[in-house]
Amino acid sequence: MLYKKHIFICTNQRPEGSRVCCGEAHGLALVAAFKKQIKDKNLNVEMRAQRTGCMETCELGPSVVVYPEGVFYGKVQLSDVDEIVSEHLENDRVVNRLVMDFSKLP
């Protein structure tokens, strides 16, 4: 495996008037924040954060997923990035308060 962990952040956007899209909220800012934290902590050799298109979890977003675990985080704010990096990426502890509840998807 090339990376120990791979973080995908939704940056999808849709035309006005269509289905809600979680990437519009602050997807690109989240990508930048994750990349900065990973680089600042010298984790960038074994971990990668990148933007992605729709993950079909729009109503629960902004959406972030961490692989290889496949943990989906929802309603992620810029203020949550430090906690996800330090808890999940560095210490393999899932941030339970941000884990998506898929039963709330339409």
CATH number at residue 26: 3.40.30.10
Average pLDDT over residues 79-92: 98
pLDDT band at 47 (very low <50, low <70, confident <90, very high): very high
Report CA 57 to chain centroid distance, whole Å.
Answer: 12
Total of domains in the chain? 1
Task: Give the C-alpha separation, 29 to 46, whole Å.
Answer: 22
pLDDT band at 21 (very low <50, low <70, confident <90, very high): confident
Tell me the longest C-alpha to C-alpha distance in the chain: 41
Q: What region does 50 belong to: left with phi over 0, alpha with psi -120 to 50, or beta? A: beta
Residue type present at position 19: R
CB 84 within 8 A of CB 17: no
pLDDT band at 16 (very low <50, low <70, confident <90, very high): confident
Domain span at residue 98 reads 5-104
pLDDT of residue 19: 75
